Amino acid sequence: MSKSRIKEFQESREKLNQIVMKYAGANTKRFYNIDWQAYNAGTLPAKTKELLGLVASLVLRCDDCIMYHLIRCHEEGISDSELEEAFSIGLIVGGSITIPHLRRAWQAWDEMQTEQSSGNAANK
């Protein structure tokens, strides 16, 4: 069985981040740390923060960022309806130019949901 697009993304991102860190100076390392810390639970739960990051990424039309936050939203237990509402906000703010990114995001979400369902069925 071939790797899912999600797994390929995660592995590629990890490998590329290792290369970045190999050459990174203090400012890059600080930025990465701030970025990571910002999404930890605080006054707002991590789930909400990931949805905020996802909407911002959709509006900015960054497919890598969308994929990362989509995976994190899935890990945080975001429901289909919560995701749809967040995407609606991104579409309203970003306009029709976000639609291709929205399509790819829903495709990735569907893959994650299908994989999860298959995994749950296999574990029964």
Helices (H), 1-124: 5-23, 26-38, 46-60, 63-75, 80-94, 99-122
Q: Is residue 87 part of a domain?
A: yes
Q: Is residue 123 part of a domain?
A: no
pLDDT value at position 122?
65
Task: Decide if pLDDT at 1 tops 50.
Answer: no
* Residue span of the structural domain in which 37 resides: 5-118
Q: Is residue 71 part of a domain?
A: yes
Q: Is residue 109 part of a domain?
A: yes
Q: Is residue 124 part of a domain?
A: no
Give tens-digit pLDDT for 14-47: 999 999 999 999 999 999 999 999 999 999 999 9
Give tens-digit pLDDT for 38-79: 999 999 999 999 999 999 999 999 999 999 999 999 999 999
How far is Cα 13 from Cα 19, in angstroms, rounded to an integer? 10
Give tens-digit pLDDT for 69-123: 999 999 999 999 999 999 999 999 999 999 999 999 999 999 999 988 887 766 6
pLDDT value at position 59?
98
pTM (2 d.p.): 0.90
| CATH assignment at residue 10 | 1.20.1290.10
Task: Name the domain count of the chain.
Answer: 1
**Inter-helix orientation angle 80-94/99-122, to 10°:** 170
pLDDT value at position 118?
82
| Cα–Cα distance list, 65 to 14, 36, 43, 50 (Å) | 13, 13, 23, 11
